[in-house]
Amino acid sequence: MNRLSIILLSVLAMACHSKKETITNPADYAVFLEINSENEKLKLAEKELAFWSEKFEKSPNQTPYLIKMAAANNALFEQKGDINNLVSAENQLIRANEMAGSKSASQLRALAKTHITQHKFREALSALQKADSLGEGKLATQMMLFDVNMELGNYDKAEAFLTGQRETETFNYLIRLAKWHDYEGDTQGAIDQLQRALQKADEMKSEPLKLWTYSNLGDYYGHVGNIEKSYEYYLKTLAIDPHYDYALKGIAWIVFSYERNPEEAERIIKVLQKRHEAPDYQLLLAEIAEFRGNEEAKARHINNFLATVSSPSYGDMYNAYLVTLLENEPEKALELAKKEVINRPTPQSYQLLSYASMLNGRGEEALKLADQYVNGKTFEPVSLYQLATVYKKSGRGKEVEELKKELMGAYFEVGPLMEKEIEKL
Amino acid sequence: MKKLVRNILGLALLGTFALTSCDNDNGMDPVDNGPDFSGTFATADQMGRPAINTVFVPSDMKDNFNVTPPSQQGGMYATAFAAGLKALSPAYANDGDKNALGLDATTFGSVLATDVLTVSTTAPTTFYDGTNVLTGRNLADDVITVELLLIFGGEDFTENPNLSDDNVDANDKAFSSSFPYLASPW
């Protein structure tokens, strides 16, 4: 079943019971909000960084120490969200690769992984191509090349890799097959593959792989409107690692978007904010504030977000968000959208460019971009909504109606504010 | 929910986990605590003598070497190993150079390329004890230094003294007196 029919089905399902039941229960997750236990992963990463930094200071010709320091910095970024850790990891890996003359495939893959986190996909691609030509660990390199090609919109190359694989019963293959199904708009297919991948993770008794798969299933079940399952998988994630904040953020979204309980959602997010510095929380708080009609708080959160991500350390990581936030600075929005298209020429990026063109009064250009690069090429609800606004401005009522129908099934995913906007389309 | 950084980040991370081994923890099942041998197993890595694969197998041959049965390694990789020896070691820089076993680059390369731990059923078990060479391996043997001596030490172990000793003479922790005899990692 593809994403469209799922969306239609869930529209029907929702029509049957307009009053949304409460699925979450604070008693289920209170224990994860109030944890006093130390974050073991954080503690270990801090110790690792101190240990290897000290060794490196004494022997600055040792690339393995640099690699260890970078790994610890990456882990710290994951746990705390401090961008400086990510930048340090990048610098250490660049230096290590320079010292090794870019002759180590595993070091190049490590650099690519950090570049992916930074949304420097072109740099990641270049590191992976070097690793691929060296040969060692070719399959691991090719898996990452698939990931980067998906981000860069090189879908033909990504598909060629998938169809060229003979060993298809592995965790690493299955999660990429899931990603491919999602790209094609077949969310149920993505869930099916993730469930198969979960079996592999279970067989391997791998905690990190289970955490990753559970939390992704939490997201995907939400996308198909199965909120109970989504909640269940977020709780399963937390049962393994109470410090896995991403799952709590997912629960906060259910509380806000599905149950329409902004107070409780805000309470969860504010706890998470104390643990983790991700600027994303500011955006979520801004959305919640707007929903509650608190314009002052909304402006404050957006300003906090803008102030944070305008630091050069973030590079282009948040460009996609910035474009949509810069309604009052259309020229800057257009500039960032152009940059985003160069960084990753995907249908979503072209949609941003189309939207920014419209903001600047270039309706014809916006429409041309939408027709050529976006329509029929992505199923991301936010992109589809923007596409609909471009069509609406251009008087293309038939397309607007079609998109509106599709978007009605994605209300949970896009949230209550965008729901109102979609209804106005 | 917007999922800007999320999906790909995890996927990429997992790319580096391709060949991890499995933990055998989880005591949920009270009956079967043994390892699970179901499924199809495949060779992922091979290491007969410490560091030899790491150093001598060129990057572009590494994946294949790791899945080649040892019986075929000598034939397939001897040339690459010999080239590696000549490129790395000043003790093999000139034609006719040999190591303390009397092996020239080509012969020693072919010995090393079959990456197995040789064991003599008659001689004392040791990596090198002053008399016996590569007749087995004891935990306390200074394996890396012996390998360095055979690669860099020349005909009588006296060449390139700076390259032929790792300067680690013993484990930092006492070995255990019972199986598996290794010291605990922490």
Parse chain A into domains and list their residue ranges: 243-317, 326-425
| Nearest-Cα residue of chain A relative to residue B22 | A204
The chain-wide mean pLDDT, for chain B, equals: 82
Q: Round to whole Å and give the CA distance between A160 and B147.
A: 44
More confident call, B164 vs B41: B164
Nearest residue, CB atoms, A140 vs list B5, B16, B39: B16
Q: Are A100 and A63 in contact (CB under 8 A)?
A: yes
Q: pLDDT band for position A35 (50/70/90)? A: confident
User: Helices A262-275 and A245-253, interaxial angle, to 10°?
Assistant: 160
Q: Is the pLDDT of residue A347 over 70?
A: yes
pLDDT at residue B34 in the model:
59
| Nearest-Cα residue of chain B relative to residue A249 | B1
Q: pLDDT band for position B27 (50/70/90)? A: very low
pLDDT digits (tens, 9 = 90+) for B84-134: 999 999 999 999 999 999 999 999 999 999 999 999 999 999 999 989 999
Residues 6+ apart with CB under 8 A from A216: A175, A178, A194, B7, B10
CA-based nearest residue to A4, from A402, A397, A412: A402
Q: Round to whole Å and give the CA distance between A81 and A78.
A: 6
pLDDT at residue A20 in the model:
67
Query: What b/e readout covers A97-119, taking b as 16+ CB neighbours within 10 angstroms?
Result: beeeebebbbbbbbbbbbbbbbb
Architecture of the domain spanning A326-425: Alpha Horseshoe (1.25)
Q: Is the pLDDT of residue A246 over 90?
A: yes
Q: Is the pLDDT of residue A400 over 70?
A: yes
Q: Is the pLDDT of residue A181 over 50?
A: yes
More confident call, A19 vs A256: A256
Q: Are A213 and A179 in contact (CB under 8 A)?
A: no
Q: Is the pLDDT of residue B22 over 70?
A: no
Q: Round to whole Å and give the CA distance between B55 and B172.
A: 24
**pTM, entire model:** 0.85
Q: pLDDT band for position B42 (50/70/90)? A: confident
Nearest residue, CB atoms, B8 vs list A116, A138, A143: A116
**Span B77-88, mean pLDDT?**
96
Residues of B contacting chain A (CB within 8 angstroms)? 1-20, 22-26, 36, 39, 59-63
Q: Is the pLDDT of residue B25 over 90?
A: no
Least confident interval from A31-35, A300-304, A317-321, A376-380: A31-35
- Please tell me whether the peptide bond between A26 and the residue prior to it is cis, using omega within 30 degrees of 0: no
Q: Round to whole Å and give the CA distance between A324 and B173.
A: 59
pLDDT at residue A138 in the model:
94
Q: Which chain A residues in 365-384 lie under 8 Å from chain B, judged by CB atoms?
A: 382
Q: Is the pLDDT of residue A29 over 80?
A: yes
Matching residue, tokens 């500039």: A335
pLDDT at residue A3 in the model:
56
Question: Are B11 and A176 in contact (CB < 8 Å)?
Answer: yes
Q: Is the pLDDT of residue B166 over 90?
A: yes
* A&B contacts, CB < 8 Å: 109
Q: Round to whole Å and give the CA distance between A285 and A266.
A: 7
User: Half-sphere exposure of A233 toward its Cβ, with a 13 Å CA cutoff?
Assistant: 24
Q: Are B115 and B70 in contact (CB under 8 A)?
A: yes
**Shortest alpha-carbon distance between residue A171 and chain B (Å):** 8
Q: Are A200 and B16 in contact (CB under 8 A)?
A: no
**Span A130-145, mean pLDDT?**
95
Percentage above 70 pLDDT, chain A: 95
Question: Are B62 and A135 in contact (CB < 8 Å)?
Answer: yes
| Nearest-Cα residue of chain B relative to residue A194 | B11
- Report the complex ipTM: 0.70
**Span A124-129, mean pLDDT?**
98
Nearest residue, CB atoms, A147 vs list B11, B20, B24: B11
**Span A222-226, mean pLDDT?**
96
Q: Is the pLDDT of residue A374 over 50?
A: yes
Question: What is the residue extent of each domain of chain B?
Answer: 45-166
pLDDT at residue B184 in the model:
85
Q: Is the dihedral of CA A284, A288, A293, A297 positive or negative?
A: negative
**Shortest alpha-carbon distance between residue B142 and chain A (Å):** 22
